[in-house]
Amino acid sequence: MATLKKPTEQMEFILATDVGSTTTKARFFHKRGGEWRFLVAGESPTTVEAPYEDVTLGVRNAVREVEELTGHRILSPDGEGIVVPYDGKMGVDLYCTTSSAGGGLQMMVAGLIKTMTAESANRAALGAGAIVMDVMARDDGRQPYQKIQRIRSLRPDMILLAGGTDGGASSHVMEIAELIKAAEPKPRLGVAYSLPIVYAGNKSLRPRIEELMGGSFALDMVDNLRPVLEVENTEPARRAVHELFMEHVMSHAPGYTRLMKWTDVDIMPTPAGEGMAMQLIADTFKQNVLGVGLGGATTNVYSVFQGRFVRSVSANLGMSYSVTNVMKEAGIGNIMRWLPFNLDEEDVSSRLMNKMIRPTTIPQTLEDLIVEHSVAREALRLGLEHHKTIATRLKGIQLERTISDMFEQEVEETYIKMMDVDILAGTGGLLSHAPRRVQSMFILTDAWQPEGITRMFQDSVFMMPHLGVLSTVYRDAAWSVFDKDCLVRLGTIVAAAGQAQLGEPVMKIDLEMPGGETLKEDLKFGEIKRIELPERQDADVVIHPSRNFDVGEGPGKTLEGTVSGGVAGLLLDARGRPIYLPEEEGAKKELLLKWFKALDLYPFEKLEELI
Amino acid sequence: MSPEEKGEEKTSAEAHAYTPGLKVKRAMAVDKMRRLPILGEVLVNEGDKVEHSALVAKTEISGDPEIVKVAMKLGVEPEDLPRYMKVEIGDKVAEGQQIAFYSALFGLIKKEVTAPVSGTVEALSDLTGQMILRGEPIPIAIDAYIPGKIVEVMPREGVVVETNAAFIQGIFGIGGETHGVIKVVVGSADDELTDDLIKPEHKGDVIVGGSMVTMEALKKAAEIGVSCIVVGGVRHNDLTDFTGEEIGVAITGQEEVGLTLIVTEGFGKMRISQRTFDLLKSFEGSYASVNGTTQIRAGVLRPEIIIPHEQFADEASEELAAGMVPGTPVRIIRQPYFGAIGKVVTLPVELQQLESESHVRVLTVELEKGEVVTVPRANVEIIEE
C-alpha cells in the first residue's frame, strides 16, 4: 500500500526506477514553476544474478548516476536507502519502482471452459502484468495425466484458478482444483515456501477449496471473475495477484525485501506499469488506443477499446534474446520481404542467431539496421495477431444477430478493428533508438497497418512503466511529465483500406494547414507521401476515397477531420490494406525503395550503395 | 578517423564492456554447484575427493498422481461413493487390484474399478467422485560432474565441487553434460570439420574442429557416438536440420541429438579463436567434462569445457581485467568487422554517429593488420588472457 511521506501538492522531487531483466533505469522528475518535468536519467546493469544477487546494488548505481549528473543527493549517506522526503537539501519526496528482473511474474492459470472462465482468467493474469506459462481448462484437449505432467514441469510464481459462475458448475471446478493439488506444483523461487494460489471462481465452492488447498498453498480467495456469463470482472483477481506478487514472490527474489522497504508505493511488474501508461493516454484523449512495448525478450501489446483494457504478452517475441524466435515464428521469408536489397537467406539467419547469442550488440551499418527494422515489423505483426486472440468478446453469451450478420460466415472473435483505433503508441529500445523518428512511425505502420485517421506516439526515453506506477498515486505529476517529456508525437497517418492495381486512384485529400495554406494531394495505389506538419499543430482534412476504398465512413465515402502533427509529420498511405507487395522480387524491391525514398527513411546515398 | 582527431578527443580512462568476455583459461580453480531440484540428502562430506561420476546428493520426488474417476466408472453419485469403496485413504494398492465395487438388482448388475497403477490412495472426493492414486516415488540423484574436492556442503540441497582445471567457455551449445578425451582432428583453426575426419575410434571423445562443422560431420559424429564437438561456427540451417527444430530462444541443454555441440564463436563459418584452439591442442589426450547448456536470458549460462589437471596451478590466481583500457585485447562481435581481433586505442567520451546514424559511445580498435576502426562499445568483447 502506498504511504506517502508528504502531501502530493508539496512535493518537489520524485524518483522512479524500473529494474529490468538487464538494465535498471532511474528517472528523476522535478517540479519547476508549478510544472512537473523529467530532469535526468541514470542507468546501470541489473544485479539480480550471481555474484551480486541483490537488486538494490543496481538501483543504487543507477541513482548514483542521477546524483552525478544533477549534483542532487538522493541516496542516504550509509547507502542503505533513498532519503525520503526531500529535506530542502537532499532526498526525494516519492520513490516508486517497477520490476521485471529475474523473469518477471510467471503464472499458470486454470479455468473450467477454455473459451470462457479459462480465457477470462488468462486476461486477468495478463492484465496484472504476468507472463502466462500455461492456460488449463477441462476441455483443453489434454488428458489429466498430461496436465499433471505439465504442472509438475512448470515452476510458476503463482496460480490463478477460476471456474464456474457463482452458484453454477461445482464438481467440474473441483476436479481441476484436485488435479492441481495432486500435481504438487513447486514455486520457482526458493525451495521452502508455499506456492500462492488465487481462487476467483464459483464463490459457493470457497469452503471446499479452502478445505482442499488451504494447507498446501498460500491461498487467497477473491470475487469470481465471471460471476455470470455476461460479466467479466477481472479487477479483484488482478489486485490479489499484485498483492501476492509483493508478499510472496518479490520477497523471495534477491534483494527485494530491502527494495520493498525503500519504496513508497508497492513494486509493480513492469508491464503493469506500462499498461497504466497506455490507460493514461486513452483516459486523457478519450480515444481507443493500441500500444506496444517491443522489448528485447518480449512484446507486450495493450489495447484500450471503449474503456476496456486488455494486455497480451508474447513472451518469446523480442528484438535481442528472442530475435531468432521471431524468425522461427514469422519465417525468414516474411522478414526478408521488407528488405530492398539482396541478402542471402543463410546470411540473414546467421546474423540473427549471432544477435541472439550476443544480445547487447547494436547495428553499426545501415544494412544491419534495416535488417533489424524488418524483424521488428514481424515481431509487431505477430504480437498484434496474438493480442487479437486475447482481446475478444466474451464467449458463452447469446449474440444478438441482425439479418446482415446472417450472411457473414461467422462473427469475428476480436473487437480490435484497425479502422476503430484512434491512437497507436510504441515503446521499447528499437523504437526509441531509431535514428530517424519516421522510421518507428513507418515500422509501426507496416506492421499494424492502421486504417482511416490514426495518431501515433512513442516513448522518448523509456519511462512509460515509471510514469504508469507514478500515476497510481500522483496522476497529475505523471501526466505532466508524460505529456511534455515522454510522449513524442510522431504525427498522424491517413490510410485507405482497399485494393486496386498499381497506379489506380485511391484518395484525394484537401488539407488546410495551420498557416492557412491549402494543399491538394492525389494518391495512386502503391504510393505513400509524407507532409511536414510540426508537433502540437493541427490541420483540417477532407478525404475523398475512390469507390473501392474506405477511410472510415464506408467505401467511397468522404471523411472530414483533423490531423495532428508531429516530428515525422503526416503520412498519406495509399499502399492498400493489406499492404500490397508485388510477388516478383525485383518489382517488390523497387516499390520498397520508392517508399523509403518518399519518406526519407534512411540516408539515401548509403542506401543506394546497398542496392 | 585520423590520429590527430583522436588526439583532441576527451577519452575515458577505463570503460566496462557490455558483453562479458568468454573465459579461455589455462589454469584456474573451477567451482561447480551441484544442487537438487528439491530438498533431499547429501551423500558426501566437505573435504571428500570425488570422481566425476560419484553421486553427491539424492532425493525422491513424489510419484506421479493418477486420477481415477471412480464414481463415474461405477455409475453412482459421488456422495454415495464411500459405500462402494474397497480401499481407504493411505492404503497401498497394486495395479489391477479392486478398489471399488458396486452391485445392484441382487447381484445381476456388477461393476468394479481396479487400480490402473500401483500406488497409495491419497485422496477421495465426495463432490467430484475422483480418487487420487499416488505412484511410487521417483528417485533423483546427481553426480559430481567434475573430479575434485567437495569444498562446500549445502545441507539437504547439494554441494560445491572444486578442481584445478583449464576452463574454456563457448558462446552457444546444445546437449547437456558429458565427458571424453580431447582429440584435435583438424590441422589449423581455419579448417572445417568434415565427416571424413571423424573416425570410429573417436567414440566417446571430445573432438575439436576449426572454423565450422558440416552437417555430414555432425550426423557421422552422432552415429559413431562422439561425446562432444567443439568448433568455431555452425550454419544456422545445419543446426536446425540436425536438431530437427529451429532454435527460437537460447535456452538449450535438453536436446537429445546424440552428442553435445559447443560453438565458440558464432553462427556461420567462423574461425575458432587461435587461443582456444592452441589451448585445446595442448591438452590433447586429456580428459574433459563438457556441457553444452546455454541460457542467455536471466542468469547467463554459457557452454563450457573443463579440463582438470594438476599442473600450472600457480597461474590460477590470475585476476581478470574489470574493464577496457587502451591496449586491452578485444574481439569485434558485429558487422562490419565481425570476428576481427585487435587492441583498444582510444575510448572517446562523446557520442558519435555511426553509419546507421545512431549516436552511441564508441571506441577505436587497432586491428591485427594495423588498421584502426571505430566501433560501438556495445559491439566488442574483452579477450580474457
The pLDDT tens digits for A597-610 are 999 999 999 999 99
Non-local CB neighbours of A551 within 8 Å, separated by 6+ positions: A451, A452, A453, A494, A495, A496, A497, A507, A543, A545, A557, A559
* Architecture field, domain B171-302: 3-Layer(bba) Sandwich (3.50)
The whole-number pLDDT of residue A567 equals: 97
Dihedral pair phi/psi, residue A24, rounded to 5° = -100, 125
Residues A51 and A73 grouped into a single domain: yes
CB contact under 8 A, A435 and B62: no
Question: Is residue B33 within 8 angstroms of chain A, CB to CB?
Answer: no
Top residue of A22, A133, A176, A364 to mutate, by most chain B CBs within 10 Å, is A364
Residues A91 and A203 grouped into a single domain: no
Question: Is residue B246 within 8 angstroms of chain A, CB to CB?
Answer: yes
- Identify which has the larger pLDDT, A425 or A146: A425
The whole-number pLDDT of residue A112 equals: 94
Task: For residues A81 and A77, give the distance between their C-alpha atoms in angstroms, rounded to a whole number.
Answer: 9
CB contact under 8 A, B248 and A171: no
The whole-number pLDDT of residue A450 equals: 98
CB contact under 8 A, B67 and A360: no
CB contact under 8 A, A353 and B171: no
In-domain check, residue A571: yes
Question: Is residue B130 within 8 angstroms of chain A, CB to CB?
Answer: yes
The whole-number pLDDT of residue B35 equals: 87
The whole-number pLDDT of residue B322 equals: 59
Residues A371 and A513 grouped into a single domain: yes
Ranges of chain B with pLDDT below 50? 1-7, 315-321
Nearest to A366 among B125, B134, B356 (CB): B356
Nearest to B335 among A170, A208, A365 (CB): A365
Nearest to A436 among B129, B236, B357 (CB): B357
Percent above pLDDT 70 for chain A = 96
In-domain check, residue A113: yes
Question: What's the gap in Å between the CA of A357 and the closest CA on chain B?
Answer: 7
Task: Tell me the pLDDT band of A2, cut-offs 50, 70 and 90.
Answer: low
| Percent helix, percent strand, percent coil in chain A, to nearest 5 | 35, 25, 40
- The three-state secondary structure class of A383 is helix
Question: What's the gap in Å between the CA of B234 and the closest CA on chain A?
Answer: 9
- Identify which has the larger pLDDT, A321 or A35: A35
CB contact under 8 A, A606 and B355: yes
- Per-residue cell: A573: 498511405
Q: Which CATH number belongs to the domain containing residue A166 in this structure?
A: 3.40.50.2300
- Per-residue cell: A550: 474506405
The whole-number pLDDT of residue B137 equals: 86
Top residue of B300, B335, B363, B382 to mutate, by most chain A CBs within 10 Å, is B335
Chain A residue numbers with beta carbons less than 8 Å from the beta carbon of B356 are: 363-366, 368-369, 435
Whether the CB-CB separation of B23 and B279 falls below 8 Å is answered with no
The pLDDT tens digits for A3-51 are 789 999 999 999 999 998 778 899 999 999 999 999 999 888 787 766 6
Residues A111 and A231 grouped into a single domain: yes
Mean pLDDT in residue range A281-291? 95
Beta bridge partners of B228: B206, B260
Q: How many CB pairs under 8 A join A and B?
A: 172
* Architecture field, domain B3-21+320-382: Roll (2.30)
Question: Is residue B371 within 8 angstroms of chain A, CB to CB?
Answer: no
Task: Tell me the pLDDT band of A254, cut-offs 50, 70 and 90.
Answer: confident
C-alpha distances (whole Å) from A54 to each of A23, A82, A102, A252 are 14, 16, 11, 11
Q: Please report, for chain B, the start and end positions of each structural domain, with discontinuous segments joined by +.
A: 3-21+320-382, 65-134, 171-302
The whole-number pLDDT of residue B314 equals: 52
Dihedral pair phi/psi, residue B118, rounded to 5° = -80, 145
CB contact under 8 A, B236 and A175: no
Question: Is residue B356 within 8 angstroms of chain A, CB to CB?
Answer: yes
* Final residue before a domain boundary, out of A70, A101, A132: A101
In-domain check, residue A518: yes
Residues A462 and A373 grouped into a single domain: yes
Question: Is residue B244 within 8 angstroms of chain A, CB to CB?
Answer: no
CB contact under 8 A, B334 and A353: no
CB contact under 8 A, B247 and A324: yes
* Final residue before a domain boundary, out of A101, A118, A153: A101
CB contact under 8 A, B125 and A433: no
In-domain check, residue A475: yes
Q: Which of A67-81, A248-262, A447-461, B96-110 has the highest mean pLDDT?
A: A447-461
Question: Above 50 in pLDDT, residue A412?
Answer: yes
Residues A379 and A231 grouped into a single domain: no
CB contact under 8 A, A357 and B128: no
Domain that holds residue A356: 289-395+407-610
Whether the CB-CB separation of A352 and A375 falls below 8 Å is answered with yes
Residues A84 and A146 grouped into a single domain: no
Chain B residue numbers with beta carbons less than 8 Å from the beta carbon of A48 are: 298
Question: What's the gap in Å between the CA of A102 and the closest CA on chain B?
Answer: 6
Total tally of structural domains belonging to chain A: 3
Task: For residues A266 and A98, give the distance between their C-alpha atoms in angstroms, rounded to a whole number.
Answer: 9
Percent above pLDDT 90 for chain A = 72
Between strands A105-110 and A158-161, the pairing is parallel
Chain B residue numbers with beta carbons less than 8 Å from the beta carbon of A364 are: 334-336, 354-356, 375-376, 379
In-domain check, residue A372: yes
Contacting B residues, span 48-77, partner chain A, CB-CB under 8 Å = 62, 64-67
Residues A479 and A566 grouped into a single domain: yes
Nearest to B248 among A149, A325, A349 (CB): A325
The pLDDT tens digits for A143-174 are 888 898 888 878 888 999 999 999 998 899 99
CB contact under 8 A, A182 and B62: no
How many beta carbons lie within 10 A of that of residue A74, not counting itself? 24
Between strands A538-545 and A505-512, the pairing is antiparallel
Question: Above 80 in pLDDT, residue A400?
Answer: no
Q: Which of A284-298, A485-499, B287-301 has the highest mean pLDDT?
A: A485-499
The whole-number pLDDT of residue A544 equals: 98
Question: What's the gap in Å between the CA of A171 and the closest CA on chain B?
Answer: 5
The whole-number pLDDT of residue B385 equals: 58
CB contact under 8 A, B65 and A170: no
Nearest CA in chain A to B267: A350
Longest dimension (CA), chain B: 108
Question: Above 80 in pLDDT, residue A116?
Answer: yes
- Alpha-carbon torsion B171, B174, B176, B181, what sign? negative
In-domain check, residue A1: no
CB contact under 8 A, A365 and B336: yes
Domain B65-134: state its class. mainly beta
Minimal CA–CA distance to A112: which of A183, A202, A216? Answer: A202
- The three-state secondary structure class of B70 is helix
* Final residue before a domain boundary, out of A45, A67, A101: A101
- Identify which has the larger pLDDT, A2 or B332: B332
- The three-state secondary structure class of A366 is helix
Whether the CB-CB separation of B198 and B182 falls below 8 Å is answered with no
In-domain check, residue A307: yes
Question: What is the identity of the amino acid at B28?
Answer: M
Top residue of B19, B297, B379 to mutate, by most chain A CBs within 10 Å, is B297
Residues A518 and A495 grouped into a single domain: yes
The whole-number pLDDT of residue B6 equals: 42
The whole-number pLDDT of residue A253 equals: 75
CB contact under 8 A, B355 and A346: no
The whole-number pLDDT of residue A487 equals: 94
Minimal CA–CA distance to A61: which of B363, B16, B14, B13? Answer: B16
- Rounded to two decimals, what is the model's pTM? 0.87
C-alpha distances (whole Å) from A298 to each of A118, A155, A159, A253, A607 are 23, 19, 21, 21, 30
The pLDDT tens digits for A215-249 are 889 999 999 999 998 899 998 998 899 888 877 77
Question: Above 60 in pLDDT, residue A399?
Answer: no
Question: Above 70 in pLDDT, residue A192?
Answer: no
Nearest to B355 among A172, A186, A364 (CB): A364
Residues A84 and A137 grouped into a single domain: no
Question: What's the gap in Å between the CA of B273 and the closest CA on chain A?
Answer: 16
Non-local CB neighbours of A320 within 8 Å, separated by 6+ positions: A296, A297, A355, A356, A359, A360
Task: Tell me the pLDDT band of A559, cut-offs 50, 70 and 90.
Answer: very high
